[in-house]
Structures are given as C-alpha cells and as structure tokens.
Amino acid sequence: MGAGNGHGDRRNHGYGHGHGVPGGAAGSAGARHRRRLWLAFGLLAGYMAVDALAAWWTGSLALLSDAGHVATDVLGIGMALAAIHAAGRAVTGGPGKPHRTFGLYRLEVLAALGNAVLLFAVAGFVLVEALRRIGDPPEVLAGPMLLVAAGGLLVNLIGFGLLRAGARESLNVRGAYLEVLGDLLSSVGVVAAAVIILLTGWRYADPLLAVAVALFIIPRTASLARAALRVLVQAAPKHLAVTEVASTLAAVPGVCDVHDLHVWTLTSGMDVASAHLTIDRADRLDQVLTGARTALRERYGIAHATLQVETDACPPAEW
C-alpha cells in the first residue's frame, strides 16, 4: 500500500474517528479481570513462603521447581496488576500527559512478555539442576513433601479457576494463567513424586518429574512470547484477515476504493484500524463514515478507527 500522503488531485474532505477506546482501565481485557487477579495474587503469595521453606527443608528438586513456579506466579500477576493500574491512570494521557494519546495500554503486553521470560528462566534452571542431580539423586523427606504439594495443588486449582476466563481475552491475564497452570502441573508432579518415593524409595522420581513439568511449560511459554511480540511489532491480529476488512469497507454504500488500510492490536481485546476511503460524492461523507464505523465495530469488534475520506471520480464498473 502507499504511504497515504500523495493522492494526485483527490480532495480530502475529512476524517472519521471511531471513539470506542474506553476511558479507563476497563477498556482493556485485562482490567475486566482485575479482581480475580488480586485474589489469585493473595493466595499464591501466601503459599509461596510455605513452598520455599518446604523446598529447603525436604531437599526436593520437584518441590523447588514448584516453589520457583509459585514465585514467578506472584511476580507475574503483580506485573499484570501494575500494568493494568498504570494503563488505567493514563488512558488518554492523563492531566499533563498529552503525548500519551493511547495511554499506557501497551504495558499489559510488555508484562506478558516479561512473564514469558521469567518462565523460560525457571524452566531452564530446573532442567540444569535436574541434570546435575540425575547421577546421584539425594535423599528427600517424602512425607512433608507430599503434604506441602497437596496444599499447593489446592491453592493452584483455585487460582486456575479464577484466571481461566480472563486468559481467553487478555495476553496479560493469559501470562498469569499459564504460570498458574504450570504451577498446578508442578504440584501434581510433586505429589506423584512424593507418593512414588514413599511407596518404592525410588529417588529418581523427584528430578525426572521436575524435568517433565519444565518441558511441558516451555512450548506454552513460547506461544505466549510469540503472541506478545506480534502485538509489539504491530502485526495484523491473527484472527483477522486484512483483505476481508478491506472488502467489508469497499462494500459500504458510496465507497469506490479502499487504500492505506492498517489494522493492529493496541492491547489484548483492543484492535484498532486506519484507512483511506474514496467516495463517489462529497454529500455522502457522513453516511459513509457511519456505515464504515458500524461495519468495523459489528463485524470485527474494532471500536476505534481513523478513516480519511476523499472524493474522486469512481472508476467505471467492469462488465
């Protein structure tokens, strides 16, 4: 597409702006789940201290892996909440911040990327430590290990339930959700390892189950990182075909050409667009703008669109 500035003798008659970017943190998908994030944060922060002490006491790598996941859960959810709070305070720049025309919504995506980096770090540490121990697994206190892991399993089941709905809408909440999912699986692994050690005395169960949990988390973390990077590089939303959007705009009565169309994601649940529309008659400007904004909102959920309308002789129909 062209740059959108040189259009020959076309006459620019105006711009249309869809003013759908909400005026508050509630405008982002993550903010709608702020209360659930706080509940999950409180539960996991309380359990984190218990888990860390138990990992040191029992000498269990599987429990250490669980403790690491809980720590990243707490930090990741804290980052998510901080990003939502910052975005809510500066949605339209805030007093004295006119340069922040879109507020700080992108912080939610940056928080999701930060969560992915943390998860990669924890998984890497567990894998390295497991390789170190695999030759001579140390003795572990399987009884206390089982009790603590069972408590962690309960806490993570609650956190999983709290964040599941929000993970479908927000990258930010999805990052926290994946961390809780990883910790939930880690707790299951610790419980299984403790039971095996108690019943058979097979100490290899501890490092091997820690490795299994780490390997399960890595591909899901990579998916989260790719999704966050896609937003940051302003690629078109994966669920939305740009050519289809162009066809929808071209079908609006009075529009005979669509060019310089751009669609991108500002933050999770908030897609935006800009386009130049050529119309056949200047007196249809308001009608075209209304029709185009309605089509974008109803078909694609794009509530904020900047549309530049130009008049020019429409090309003759081809028969």
**What is the C-alpha to C-alpha distance for residues 73 and 182, in angstroms, rounded to an integer?**
9
Does a structural domain hold residue 263?
A: yes
Single out the residue of 210, 204, 202 nearest to residue 185, CA to CA. Answer: 210
User: Would you state the structure tokens that stand for residue 44, as one six-digit string?
Assistant: 């996991």
User: Would you state the structure tokens that stand for residue 127, as one six-digit string?
Assistant: 């894998």
Single out the residue of 149, 118, 191, 119 nearest to residue 51, CA to CA. Answer: 149
Average pLDDT for residues 174-184, to the nearest whole number? Answer: 76
| pTM (2 d.p.) | 0.68
Last residue of a domain, one of 175, 208, 232: 232
Split into its structural domains, the chain has a count of 2
Q: Residue 316: pLDDT band by 50, 70, 90 thresholds?
A: low
Q: Residue 248: pLDDT band by 50, 70, 90 thresholds?
A: very high
Q: Could you read off the pLDDT of 229-239 as tens digits, one per residue?
A: 988 888 888 88
Does a structural domain hold residue 316?
A: no
Last residue of a domain, one of 198, 232, 266: 232
Compute CA 171 distance to the chain's CA centroid, rounded to the nearest angstrom: 1
> For residue 164, with 0-12 CB atoms within 10 Å meaning exposed, 13-18 middle and 19 or more buried, which class applies?
middle
Last residue of a domain, one of 232, 260, 279: 232
Does a structural domain hold residue 1?
A: no
Q: Element (H or E) spanning 311, and its range?
A: strand 304-311
Residue pair 307/274 in contact (Cβ under 8 Å)? The answer is yes
Please tell me whether residues 133 and 243 are part of one structural domain.
Answer: no
Please tell me whether residues 219 and 164 are part of one structural domain.
Answer: yes
Q: Could you read off the pLDDT of 128-177 as tens digits, one per residue?
A: 888 888 877 777 888 888 888 888 889 888 888 888 777 777 766 777 78
Please tell me whether residues 270 and 224 are part of one structural domain.
Answer: no
Q: Could you read off the pLDDT of 3-42 as tens digits, one per residue?
A: 344 444 444 555 555 544 443 443 455 566 678 788 888 8
Instruction: Show Cβ contacts of residue 313 under 8 Å, excluding neighbours closer than 6 positions.
Output: 280
Tell me the CATH number at 142. 1.20.1510.10
Please tell me whether residues 240 and 224 are part of one structural domain.
Answer: no
Residue pair 101/90 in contact (Cβ under 8 Å)? The answer is no
